[in-house]
Chains A and B, each alone.
Chain A
Amino acid sequence: MSDDGTQHPLKIYYIMWIGLFVLSMFSYATDFMADGALRTFLILLFMFIKAGGIIWIFMHMGWERWALKIAILGPPVAILVLIGLMALESDYIEGSRIENYGESTMEVVSPEHH
């Protein structure tokens, strides 16, 4: 049996909570960085740490038995295949659009704030 959560000390929840705040501030801070590989890397890094923490601590996955861990965390790996296939396909579509219709001539306006 997985433990029933009665004996978890509150401390770990407080640490996780504060950690989420700090990491979200870091995430938000990436918006002020110049676009580039470093920014993309940091967005993904903070995202995965936050997601992992929520699943492991807040959703108690860290305390569950392997039967449940594998059953729930295994299948989403298939999404990586979908991401890969769709990225290849979309890249191809963009290329053929430019080849056949040329670059976009769309005129855009900048958002105004009031």
Chain B
Amino acid sequence: MSEAVMYSGAKEALGKEGLIEDWSRDKQVFGVPWGKAMMWVFLLSDTFIFSCFLVGYMSVRMATTDPWPNPSEVFALEAFGYPVPLLLIAIMTFILITSSGTMALAVNMGYRKNRKATFWLMLATAILGASFVGMQIFEWSKLIEEGVRPWGNPFGAAQFGSSFFMITGFHGMHVTAGVIYLLVVAFRVKNGFYENRPDGYKIVEITGLYWHFVDLVWVFIFAFFYLW
């Protein structure tokens, strides 16, 4: 007697068919659209990836006996004749926060079915995201010019470069993907693609989840890599 019959009392398929039947049973756990649940699961896995990078960075920074370069000096920029610590990083942080705000408003406008406002807010979010990536490219070029490499740099422990390029590079890749994602959804909103869909403008909220996550990761990178 199969276990499936024992538990449910009904006659059920076994083997491969039984597997499919069990896993597609359609008993809903999460009262949200499937896209939203899946985005959350994806973001959870992404959380682990970024955590591994940051924990790896912590490990090499703790284990090295060489002095760690002072991020406050390495990332300083000259303004008005003085080196201002972390100037560009601070500007990038504020740009990302601004884009998070426009995204949150876009989600709200989407639910109000205000297509025009949703489109423009999402476009603004994408432009802010693109400018963030632009500044990151500037930051990378500056550091590479000064001799920072994944295998060494003149300012201290070699592990600084490898952590920096790995962590900010992976984050920058997420921002770039987010900009593309935002543009695709924004133009679909504009063209009325979601007008008669069962889940309507919930896609805007799902896109927003991804974008806010990118901002969330930056909060941790800013604290652990640049400030600590």
Q: Which residues of A contact B (CB under 8 A)?
A: 1-2, 4-6, 8, 10, 13, 16-17, 20-21, 24, 27-28, 30-32, 40, 43-44, 46-47, 50-51, 54-55, 57-60, 64-65, 67-68, 71-72, 75-76, 79, 82-83, 86-87, 89-91, 93-94, 97-98, 101, 103-104, 106, 108-114
CB pair B31 A67 closer than 8 Å: yes
A20, B96: Cα distance in complex, Å? 10
A109 to chain B, nearest CB (A): 5
Listed by A's residue number, 19 A-B pairs whose Cβ atoms lie within 8 Å are A4-B111, A13-B104, A16-B101, A20-B100, A21-B97, A31-B85, A40-B228, A46-B223, A51-B216, A72-B43, A79-B51, A86-B59, A87-B58, A90-B62, A91-B63, A94-B62, A94-B63, A94-B64, A106-B156
Contact B107 A20 (CB under 8 A): no
Q: Contact between A90 and B65 (Cβ–Cβ < 8 Å)?
A: no
Contacts of B77 in A (CB 8 A): 113
- Which of A8, A93, A104, A114 is close to B108, meaning CB atoms less than 8 Å apart? A8
Q: Do A90 and B59 form a contact, CB below 8 Å, given A6-B111, A106-B66, A108-B155?
A: yes
Q: Which residues of A contact B35 (CB under 8 A)?
A: none
Q: Is the CB of A5 within 8 A of B108?
A: yes
Question: A60 and B216 in contact (CB under 8 A), knowing A5-B108, A31-B86?
Answer: no
